[in-house]
Chain A
Amino acid sequence: MAAETTHLNKEITAIRRADGESRTLAASLPRLVLEARRIAANVIHGLHGRRRAGAGESFWQYRRFVSGEPSQNVDWRRSARDDHLYVREQEWEAAHTVWLWPDRSPSMAFASKGARDSKLERGLIVTFALAELLVAGGERVGIPGLMNPTASRSVIDKMAQAMLHDDADRASLPPSFVPSALAEIVVLSDFWSPIAEIKTILAGLSASGAHGTLVQVVDPAEESFPYSGRVEFVEPEGFGEITAGRAESWAEDYVTRVALHRDQIRTETNKLDWLFSTHTTSRSAAELLLFLHGGMMVSKTSVGNVSVKAGRSA
C-alpha cells in the first residue's frame, strides 16, 4: 500500500511537471514547419473527407431528389438545367479521433541516475504535447478508459485532471477497447511486458482496423545495462526479482535479449502496418513529438509500407 501511495505521489508530480513542460514543448515546436508539412501532405489533421456524402463544406455530388425529402434540399440552380430535381450533397467531413495511451505503471517511474526525466514524465510530456497539438489542429483526443475523445482547447488540463482523479490500477498496456476504424492510436509505454501480452492487446486494438503507433520509452540504463558487481534486480511491478553475481557479465546478453524483444514487437506491428519506435529519455522529447506527428501524417497518406525513422528506432 505504501508503495502504491509512493507511486501515486510520483505520478502526481510527474503529471504536474509534464503539464508545464508539454505546454512549453508544444509552444516551442516550430509551427511553421508543421504548417509546411501539413500543406505538403495535403491533409494531415483537421477535417478529413470521408469519401462519402455527409455534412461538410466541399461539394461531393448531385443526386436525384428523392421524394419525401425536405424541399429545401433541392439545388435549384442545378435543377433548372434539366427536367429533374437534384440535391447537392457535400462530402461528409468528420474530425479524426486519436487515442493516446501514456503508460503510467510503476515501471515507468524508473529513472536511472544520469537521466533527466523518468520514463513516466517523458511519456506524459509527449502525450500532453501531442494532445495539445492535435487539438489545435482540430482533432479529438482521448485516453482509453480514462477520458472520452474531446476537442476542447484545454485538453491538457482535462487529461491531467482525469489522471489525477483516476483511481484504477495503473496498467502497462491500454485496456482492450474497440476504437473506430479510422481512429489513430498512440501507445507510449516501455513495453517490457511479455510479448504474448503485447500481441493480445495489439490484436484487440487493431481488430477494428484502426491504425496505431507504438513508442517504447526507455531509460538509458535500460539500453546499456551499466551495472556491475553483485546486484539484485527487482521488477517494480512485483513480477519477481533476480540476482546477478557479476552484473557486468550480463550486459551483453541483456542487450541481445532487448533487441530480440524489440524485433518481436516490430514483427507484430509490421504485420498490422502499425509503426513502432523506441525513444530514450536521454534524447529530446521534441524529437519524439516530431516523429509521432510525422508518423501520423504518413499513415494518413501512405499506401503500403513506409518506414519512418526517428529517435533510436532501428
Chain B
Amino acid sequence: MIAGLPLSFAEPLLLLGLLSLPVLWWLLRVMPPRPRRVEFPPTRLLFDIAPREETPSRTPWWLTALRLLAATLVILAAAGPVWNPQTGLAGKTMPLLILLDDGWSSASSWDARVRAADELIANADSDRRGVAIVPLSEPARDVTIMPAGAARVALRQLAPKPFAVERIETVPAIERFLKATGDCEVVWLSDGVDTGRGPEFIEALGKTIGDRTLTVFEGGTSSPLALVAAENAAAKMTVKVLRTDTGLAAGVVRAIDAKGSPIGEARYAFTPQSPEAEASFDLPVELRNDIARLEIAGERSAGAVQLLDKRWRRRAIGIASGATSDTAQPLLAPIFYLTRALGPFADVRLGDRGVAPQQAITQFLDQKLPMIALADVGTLSPEIRERLNAWIEQGGVLVRFAGPRLAQADDDLVPVKLRRGGRSLGGSLTWEKPQHLAAFAADGPFAGLAVPKDVTVNRQVLAEPDAVLATKSWASLEDGTPLVTGEHRGKGMVSLFHVSADMRWSDLPLSGTFVEMLRRIVDMSGYTSNPGAGVATQSNAETVAPLHILDGFGVFGPPPATAKPLSADFRDRATPDHPPGFYGPAEGPLAVNALAAADRIAPLDISPLKARRASYTNAEPRDLRGILLSASLALFLIDAIIVALLGGGLAALLRRRAAPAALALALALTAMMAVPSQLHADGAESRDDFALKAVSQTRLAYVVTGNADVDSIVKAGLSGLTLFLAQRTALEAGDPVGIDPAHDELAFFPLIYWPIVPGAAKPPQDAINHIDAYMKQGGTVLFDTRDAVESAPGENGASQTPGMQALRDILSSLDVPELEPVPREHVLTKTFYLLRDFPGRFVNGQTWVETLPREDEEETAAQRPARGGDGVSPIIITSNDLAGAWAIRPDGQPMLPLTPGEPKQREFAFRAGVNIVMYTLTGNYKADQVHAPALIERLGQ
C-alpha cells in the first residue's frame, strides 16, 4: 500500500529496474534513427557539401522521453501493480471489534460496507483472531467474540435498518464488551452521516475506546441522499432532497402510486454547497393525489423513500357563505379568509356566482366533496338538512362558522346546542374584556398546536352549558367558553367555530393558528366522501397495525415481528418499534417515514477521534498490468509513427497527394456551392427585379396579349398617356409595364389596361384567378375591345362584335359586378377634366362601369353633381381603342389616325385617359370634393 494511493505491487523488487532508465536514456540519445537509403547519382557532388548540422543523429529529447516513458511503463507492469489492494490491519493477535453502521443511511453503500467487513474478517481469520460484530442499530444485542466463520455468518444476517439509528445507544454495550475483553482492535465501518446525535456518539466512543487502536472506514462510496418534507402544494407536489456530500449534483425523483405504477418524474439539482434541493411534480391534482410513494431514482435506502398517505392528498372543500353575494369589499368577506387559509393544502370550491348558499351546498353534495365549510349560513331547508346529515353519516366533514345569521337560526347541524343570540365582549355595555385563546383540548384534533397569545375574540355565539360540552369543545377561551366545538356523527364530523370567519368577531382568521386548525380538520376528512373511503371517524385512541413495511433498502415487505401498531395520529419519524411503511387499513393507510419533515442530515465529523482513516474500496482489487502494457504498446506505436514522420516518409506522401486532392476538394466544394445557388437565383431574382421596378414608381400596366402589333401599340399608347399625365397633372409615372396576369404580381398597379384581341385563346384559369383577386382587392382593369368601328348598327350591335365576344368569354369566369354605361354624374367624368364621354380612336363606343348604388330620392340625384360608389369600379369596359388614340411614335407624332378625326378628338381621348387614371388613383375623392363649398358654408366660414 502506497501512502495516499490504493496501489501496491506484487513484485516490488522489480521496481529497481527503474534505476536502469538513465542508462537507457543515454543509449537512446546516442543511437540515431536509421536513415532512409536513397540511390542518388550525383552523390559525389554531395561529398563537397560540408555537413552543416547533424542534430538528427541524436534523437530529439522528447522522442527519447517518450521511449523512456514506454520503458518505465513496461517495468512498472512487470512489477505487478494492483489497484485497491486488500486492506491490512495493524494488530496481529488482539480480537477484532467491528462496529457497523446499519441505519437507513448505510443502505446505499451497504455492499461496500459488507465487503470491507468481509475482508476484515478474512484477515482476522488468517491471523486466527476472534471477531465481534456490533450493528449500531441494536443496543440490546449482546456483544460476543466469535470465530471468523461464525462472524461471517452473522455478517450475512445483517441488513440495513429502515430507520435512523441513534449510535449513542449502543455505546454502553460496547463499553461492557471492552471491559470484559480487555485489549482489542476496533474498526468502525461508518456511513458518514449524522442523523442527529453524531457528535455525542463520537465523544462517548472516544472515551470508551481509550487508547485502543481504532480504524474508521469512511468515504469511497457515494454518500446517501434522503427525501423529506413532501408537500402537496396548490400547484405542484414538492419534496426536498437532502445530501451530505456536496459532490452529488442532480438526479430524478420518481412518483409511484399505490399499485406501484409510475406516475411521474421530477428532476432536482443541487445548487453548489447547498445541502438540499427541491424536486417538484407539476401534475394535475387528481394524479398528485394518487401518489403513494416518492423515491430517488437509483438510491437504495429507506431514507430515499417518502411515503404519502391521505394527509398529503388535496381535498376539495366547498365553501358557502350566507353573506350577501354583492361583495362590495371582497377582502373583508368570510369567503376570502377561508379561501386563503385553506388554499395551501386543499382545493377550494366556491358556489357558482350569484347562487344562494343552499344551492351551493346542493352542488357540493352532488360533487361528493369530503368537506364543506359554511360561513355564517343560517336557516337551511329541511331537504338540504337531511342530505347534509346523510352525507355526514357517510363521512362528510362539516365546518361551520358563526355569524349574525347563525346566531338567529336554529338547526341541528351544530355540535352543541347554541344559545340564542351572540355574546359580545369588551363592548360598552359589557364588563368583559375581549378574550384570548386559552388552550386546545388535549384529546381534540388541535392537540399540540401552540396557543397564540395575540388572538382576541370580541364576539361569539355561546353554547348551552351541557354535561358533554367540555368533551365537545376543541378550543376554549380564557373564560372557559368554547371557541371551537366538534362532534363525530357516524363516519363524519360536525364542527363549529363560535366566531365568524371574517374579522368582525375576532382576529383569529388573521392568525397562522387558524390555518393550522383548519389543516387539522382537513386532515381528518376523507379523500372523497365515497362510502368507505373516509377514515375521518377514527378516534384518537385507535391504533393501527403495520400493513407494508419498508426494509432498509426502501423495498416494501411484510411487517417484521418487531413492528408494533401505532396510534392513528402518529406523526413522528420512524423508530425501531415503528419502522417506516404503511399502517392501518389497505384502503386508507397511514404513512410513516424514515425522516420527519424537519429532519436534516449532516456529514459526520470524526476528527475528534484518534483514529486511523480508511476508505471503502469501491472496486475490486484491480490488476493494472494490462493497462500499463497497452499504454506502453500505444507509446511504441506513436514512436514508430513519429520516426516515420521524421524520416520524411509522410512528408513525401503528403507532398505528392496533397495538391491534387486539395484541388479536387476545392473544385467539388465550389461546384456544390455554385450549382444550387445558380438554380435558385433565376426565379427569385427576376421576381425581385420585377417587384422593385414596379414599386419604385407608379406605373401603368397593360396585359401582354401575345399579338405583337397590339402590344406595341398599347405600349406606345400608355407611354403617350404617361407623357400627357406628366405634362398636365402632378402624376409623373414611370414607363408602362407589360404584364402576364398568370405569373406577375398585379398588386403593384393601380390600373391595368387589357386590350382584347378577338380570336385569341382565353387566358388560363391562373390568370383569371389573379385578375379576380386583383379586382377584389381594389384594382381596376380597363378592358378595351378596340372595335367600336366594327359594331353593327342597331340596338345590340355593339355587343355582337368579335372583340365583345372574346371579352364576354373572359368575363364569363370572372366575378364581375353589375355594369352600367357611365352615367352623366359619375365621378369618372369629373376626376380631372369635365367630360361627357370617353372617346378613343373611335367615338361611338359605349363605356361601362360598375353600377353605382341606386339613388332613392330623385331630387338628391338632381342636386348632386357627382356620384361615386364607395370604392373604385373594379372594371371599366370600352370599345373605343383608347390606347390607339394615345399611341405616339418616338418622335412625338401620333401613331394611328383617328376615326372620324374631329380636331379635338385626340385631346379628348387623352383627357379621358387622364380621368380614368385619376379615378383609379383618387377614388371617389372628387365626388366628395364637389360638396366642399356646401361643407364650408355649413361650417360658417
A232 within 8 Å of B by Cβ? yes
A235 to B45, CA, bound (A): 10
A 229-270 contacts with B by CB, 8 A: 229-236, 239-247, 249-250, 253-254, 257-258, 261
Known: A113-B656, A192-B45. A230 touches B56 (CB 8 A): yes
Q: Which of B39, B647, B649, B651 contacts A110 (CB 8 A)?
A: B39
Instruction: Write out the residue numbers on chain B whose beta carbons fall within 8 Å of the beta carbon of A114.
Output: 656
Known: A228-B648, A243-B35. A110 touches B40 (CB 8 A): yes
A192 touches B44 (CB 8 A): yes
A 285-308 contacts with B by CB, 8 A: none
A247 to B48, CA, bound (A): 15
Closest chain B residue, CB of each to CB of A114: B656
Q: Which of B41, B48, B53 contacts A190 (CB 8 A)?
A: B41
A110 to B51, CA, bound (A): 24
A70 within 8 Å of B by Cβ? no
A107 to B40, CA, bound (A): 8
A250 to B51, CA, bound (A): 8
A172 to B218, CA, bound (A): 86
Known: A230-B647, A250-B49. A245 touches B43 (CB 8 A): no
A250 touches B32 (CB 8 A): no
Q: Which of B48, B56, B649, B655 contacts A246 (CB 8 A)?
A: B56
0/1 interface trace, chain A 93-117, chain B, CB 8 Å (1 if under):
0000000000000011010011000
B647 touches A229 (CB 8 A): yes
A227 within 8 Å of B by Cβ? yes
Q: Which of B42, B45, B55, B652 contacts A245 (CB 8 A)?
A: B55
B53 touches A249 (CB 8 A): yes
A230 touches B33 (CB 8 A): yes
Instruction: Write out the residue numbers on chain A whose beta carbons fall within 8 Å of the beta carbon of B48.
Output: 257
B45 touches A258 (CB 8 A): yes
Q: Which of A232, A246, A257 contacts B38 (CB 8 A)?
A: A232
B14 within 8 Å of A by Cβ? no
Known: A228-B648, A230-B56, A230-B646. A192 touches B42 (CB 8 A): yes
A229 to B40, CA, bound (A): 15
B57 within 8 Å of A by Cβ? yes
Q: Which of B41, B46, B52 contacts A242 (CB 8 A)?
A: B46
B56 touches A245 (CB 8 A): yes
Interface centre among A229, A232, A258 (most CB of B within 10 A): A229
A234 to B40, CA, bound (A): 6
B39 touches A234 (CB 8 A): yes
Q: How far is the CB of B646 from chain A (nearest CB, A)?
A: 6
Known: A222-B42, A246-B53, A249-B52. A229 touches B651 (CB 8 A): yes
Q: Give the A interface residue count (CB, 8 A).
A: 40
B36 within 8 Å of A by Cβ? yes
Instruction: Write out the residue numbers on chain A whose beta carbons fall within 8 Å of the beta carbon of B938.
Output: none
A30 within 8 Å of B by Cβ? no
User: What total count of A-B pairs have CB within 8 Å?
Assistant: 113
Instruction: Write out the residue numbers on chain B whose beta carbons fall within 8 Å of the beta carbon of A227.
Output: 38, 648
Interface centre among A119, A221, A235, A258 (most CB of B within 10 A): A235
Q: How far is the CB of B374 from chain A (nearest CB, A)?
A: 99
B431 within 8 Å of A by Cβ? no
Q: How far is the CB of A107 from chain B (nearest CB, A)?
A: 4
Instruction: Write out the residue numbers on chain A whose beta carbons fall within 8 Å of the beta carbon of B36.
Output: 229-232
B32 touches A230 (CB 8 A): yes
A68 within 8 Å of B by Cβ? no
A249 to B53, CA, bound (A): 9
Known: A244-B51, A246-B55. A232 touches B37 (CB 8 A): yes
A254 touches B41 (CB 8 A): no
Interface centre among A114, A227, A244 (most CB of B within 10 A): A244
0/1 interface trace, chain B 622-663, chain A, CB 8 Å (1 if under):
000000000000000000000000111101100110000000
A230 to B31, CA, bound (A): 13
Q: Which of B35, B45, B52, B54 contacts A231 (CB 8 A)?
A: B35
0/1 interface trace, chain B 42-86, chain A, CB 8 Å (1 if under):
111111110111111100000000000000000000000000000
A190 to B44, CA, bound (A): 12
A240 to B48, CA, bound (A): 13
Q: How far is the CB of A235 from chain B (nearest CB, A)?
A: 4
B43 touches A254 (CB 8 A): no
B648 touches A233 (CB 8 A): no
A 197-248 contacts with B by CB, 8 A: 219, 221-222, 226-236, 239-247
A235 touches B648 (CB 8 A): no
Q: How far is the CB of B44 from chain A (nearest CB, A)?
A: 6
0/1 interface trace, chain A 24-49, chain B, CB 8 Å (1 if under):
00000000000000000000000000
Q: How far is the CB of A243 from chain B (nearest CB, A)?
A: 5
Instruction: Write out the residue numbers on chain B whose beta carbons fall within 8 Å of the beta carbon of A254.
Output: 42, 45-46, 49
Q: How far is the CB of B500 from chain A (nearest CB, A)?
A: 101
A192 to B36, CA, bound (A): 22
A232 touches B35 (CB 8 A): yes
B646 touches A240 (CB 8 A): no
A235 touches B40 (CB 8 A): yes
Closest chain B residue, CB of each to CB of A239: B44
B648 touches A234 (CB 8 A): no
A253 touches B49 (CB 8 A): yes
Instruction: Write out the residue numbers on chain A whose beta carbons fall within 8 Å of the beta carbon of B39.
Output: 110, 233-234, 236
Instruction: Write out the residue numbers on chain B whose beta carbons fall within 8 Å of the beta carbon of A232.
Output: 35-38
B38 touches A231 (CB 8 A): yes
Instruction: Write out the residue numbers on chain B whose beta carbons fall within 8 Å of the beta carbon of A190.
Output: 41-42
Instruction: Write out the residue numbers on chain B whose beta carbons fall within 8 Å of the beta carbon of A192.
Output: 41-42, 44-45
Known: A222-B41, A246-B53. A229 touches B46 (CB 8 A): no
B53 touches A245 (CB 8 A): yes
A153 to B48, CA, bound (A): 46
A 50-88 contacts with B by CB, 8 A: none
B 243-277 contacts with A by CB, 8 A: none
Known: A192-B45, A229-B651, A254-B49. A234 touches B38 (CB 8 A): yes
Instruction: Write out the residue numbers on chain A whose beta carbons fall within 8 Å of the beta carbon of B32.
Output: 230
> Which 9 pairs of residues, A with B, have the shortest CB-CB distance?
A229-B648, A107-B41, A235-B43, A233-B40, A232-B35, A230-B35, A228-B648, A245-B56, A253-B49
Query: Which residues of A approach B to under 8 Å, CB–CB?
Result: 107-108, 110, 113-114, 119, 190, 192-194, 219, 221-222, 226-236, 239-247, 249-250, 253-254, 257-258, 261
12 CB contacts below 8 A, A to B, read: A110-B41, A113-B652, A194-B44, A227-B648, A231-B37, A232-B38, A234-B37, A234-B38, A236-B40, A236-B41, A245-B55, A245-B57
A-B contact sample (5 more), CB < 8 A, given A192-B42, A227-B38, A228-B648: A226-B655, A232-B38, A233-B40, A245-B56, A249-B53
